[in-house]
Amino acid sequence: MGQGQKHRWVSGRMRDERAALYQGRVQGLAFHIESHQRLRGPYTAAGELLRQVVPMVMERWPEVVERHVVEILTMAPELRSVVPASRETLTSLAIPEERTRYYSRMRTMRLTNGVVDFLKKITVPERLGRLQVVFEHAGDCEVLDGEFLSTLLRRVHAEQMELTICTQGDAGQPLLQEALVRYAERVEAPVLAAKETCVNGQGEEILTLAERFVQSDGTSDRSEELTAYESLPERERQALHDRRADELTALGDTSWQYGAIPWHRERGSSALMAMEALRHALEYCINIGAYEATVDFGLRGRKWADWSDAHFAHMWAFTFKTTNALAALGRTEEAEAMSMDALASTDSVRVQTQVAYATAMLYTRHHANRDHETARQWIEKAISYAQTIEDEKMRAFRTVFYNNGLALIEMHVNRIEEALRLVTEGQQLLNRVLAPDEHLLHRSVLIHNKALILASMKRYEEALADFNRVIEIDPNYPEYHFDRGNLYNKMGRLEEAVENYTHAIEISPPFPEVYFNRAGAYSRLGMAEKALADYDYLLDIDPTHLDGRLNRATLFLEAGETALARQDAEEGLALDPTHAQLLCTLGLIEMAEGRLDAAQRALTAALEIDAGLLEAHVNLSVLLFECDDAQGAVDALNRAVQQHPEANVLYFNRAWALQSLGHWQEAVADYSKALELGCDEAEEIRARRETCLQALGTN
């Protein structure tokens, strides 16, 4: 965001005090949003904003809603009654027993950026125009709302959509706190005179105050209501929570089930209803990729359940889904510890089997220090357990599923042929044993994995056939189009790569990789303007994408826009001062602007970080040569040749420098080596070598 008007951050002890600062200010088309995570869990704030805005947009500009249907329905599931779900995938449609794929942790940022794009499209003069939105209790929002609000603050200018973010003090989410400090003007609400309320008496007055606290779903900031609530006998409090949970359930709004309803059930009179509510919320959250919330519900659920037969199904769900979420969040040590606790707590073969598989994935995918041999030992346990399953179909499915995990391990240790065998035989087994409509999701995963393996083996036509097949089966899964685009890119079929990247963009919430790769394809096609547009958007949704910043700086430099190139290089280096390629690019910018000493410092610094960076070697030698230091150029190229003995450009440049020093024989040898390695400047090299031979008197 530029230096224009800032958003507002209103902090104050009480809601009434905060409201006094914005009630008279917020006018026109305005929305008031409750953001406390206790209400609707993940996306309480984002979902409520969409519930208020989308119906009016759907009536007038349905095509805008359709473009963002995936993110809208994920954040506000109640809108399925208004917005058709037009982009279902095998992943989203899979029944619980067949759900074998979970989303990347990065998906939630894709969803956020998609909704921000939607809001930017509708807050233009020809549509809704400028909006004002007040987010109350934002300091108590859930992690994903913190991600959403911080992105909204950064990407949307206050002139287009003014945000008023209300907190009691500092924000609870670090991302939101950082964004508020940077993009909002903080105003402290004055303390209002306290209202006289007696809570020391008995009877109706105390009960009324306690009911208000429960009706607020625990979000009230009035101390007298909390005090009255806490003074009630436990059975009376439970009755209030039971009644409120029943009321919310009767409303039929889906998202209450992921916030207030489980909170009330935990404080109600039925332990079984508490476990059921927590498990339902847990299952939903892991399926949409809300992993922090999954962990929260899982840990809360484990306090109610145990490993007895009566509770086993709940306890295993709370444990297994929580470990999956912890792994996705990179909290792998916690995930493994919880899995080992499960092994020590029950002799269930099901638990032993799934823990073995999950632990194998920790060691081959998630742990910071991967140990593929340990992963192999665990996966072999899972495969062995699978052989004991009596049901033929389930035995086949589990065997293939775990062998697919083994194939991943084989890929990681570069046994690619073995990985291909495991996946291929798995496909064949499932096709023999299962009905055509059974386990469609995992069967599509196997086709996709086989395509990726074949692509890594450079068996491109076979890989393409499998990509085509899986896209036919699951056409709305964007990663398949993205991966097929990557394959076309490798095959040099750039127009088809762009076509696939574009289709992935059209059916998916935005993700940085597809814009980065399409920009690269555009650049190779000579479409610099389109490449720059993709890099611009990429860096809008992900300002920390260093390779995107590097590539845009390079395009700016090639276009002679050195000031813009410098801005990208310097902003990238502010994020990572040790990024050798950015330092090299900065050196080229300094050269283009005639700052030769600064250029030499930047190129030297790049090589100190990465001694094998070919571009830095080449450009440092060119710089030294242009500074009349031919011997320095030769010395630099001597070091470069040690790193890159097959790089023809190094021999060509060194020969040129040697020739200028009168070292004719050495220059001839380098020109000959450059010709041997092959290059585009063959005619010029022959002419220069001829000149050196004449100087030697050998021609």
DSSP structural state of residue 156: S
User: DSSP for 82-141?
Assistant: TS------HHHH--GGG------TTHHHHHHHHHHHHHHHHSSTTTT--EEEEEETGGG-
Question: What is residue 23's predicted lDDT score, i.e. its pLDDT?
Answer: 80
SS3 assignment, position 167: strand
CA 60 vs CA 64, 117, 589: distances in Å: 9, 18, 49
Residue with the two structure tokens 């084989």:
410
Question: What is residue 3's predicted lDDT score, i.e. its pLDDT?
Answer: 46
- Alpha carbon dihedral 494, 497, 503, 509, in 10-degree steps, equals -110
Q: List the structure tokens of 184.
A: 């909002």
User: What band does 491 get if pLDDT is binned at 50, 70 and 90?
Assistant: very high
Q: Is residue 364 part of a domain?
A: no
Question: What is residue 2's predicted lDDT score, i.e. its pLDDT?
Answer: 45
Mean pLDDT, rounded, of the chain: 94
- The percent of residues in the chain predicted with pLDDT above 70, rounded, is 97
Answer yes or no: is pLDDT of 263 > 90.
yes
Q: Is residue 12 part of a domain?
A: yes
- pLDDT tens-digit map of 217-229: 999 999 999 999 9
User: What band does 1 get if pLDDT is binned at 50, 70 and 90?
Assistant: very low
* Residues of the domain holding 132: 7-188
- The percent of residues in the chain predicted with pLDDT above 90, rounded, is 91
Report d(CA 543, CA 537) in Å as an integer.
Answer: 10
Interval 415-437 mean pLDDT = 96
Q: Is residue 542 part of a domain?
A: no
Report d(CA 401, CA 442) in Å as an integer.
Answer: 8
Interval 377-397 mean pLDDT = 95
User: What band does 97 get if pLDDT is binned at 50, 70 and 90?
Assistant: confident
Q: Is residue 120 part of a domain?
A: yes
Q: Is residue 180 part of a domain?
A: yes
- pLDDT tens-digit map of 63-87: 999 999 999 999 999 999 999 888 8
Question: What is residue 281's predicted lDDT score, i.e. its pLDDT?
Answer: 98
> For 295-318, what is the HEC assignment?
HHHHHHHHCCCCCCCCCHHHHHHH
Interval 169-190 mean pLDDT = 95
Q: Is residue 635 part of a domain?
A: no
Answer yes or no: is pLDDT of 286 > 80.
yes
Question: What is residue 151's predicted lDDT score, i.e. its pLDDT?
Answer: 98
- 32 sits in the region (left: phi over 0; alpha: psi -120 to 50; else beta) called beta
Provide the number of structural domains found in the chain: 1
Q: CATH no. for residue 163?
A: 3.40.50
- pLDDT tens-digit map of 541-592: 999 999 999 999 999 999 999 999 999 999 999 999 999 999 999 999 999 9
Answer yes or no: is pLDDT of 94 > 90.
no
DSSP structural state of residue 366: I
Report d(CA 509, CA 182) in Å as an integer.
Answer: 26
| Position 490, amino acid | K
Question: What is residue 203's predicted lDDT score, i.e. its pLDDT?
Answer: 67
Q: With CA atoms as reference, report the closest residue to 643 among 610, 602, 673.
A: 610
Answer yes or no: is pLDDT of 699 > 70.
no
User: DSSP for 209-251?
Assistant: HHHHHHHTTT----HHHHHHHHHS-HHHHHHHHHHHHHHHHHH
pTM comes to 0.93
DSSP structural state of residue 190: P
Report d(CA 468, CA 454) in Å as an integer.
Answer: 13
Q: Is residue 481 part of a domain?
A: no
Q: 125-139, 181-195, 241-255, 443-457: which has the minimum mean pLDDT?
A: 181-195
Q: Is residue 135 part of a domain?
A: yes
Q: With CA atoms as reference, report the closest residue to 361 among 102, 628, 645.
A: 102
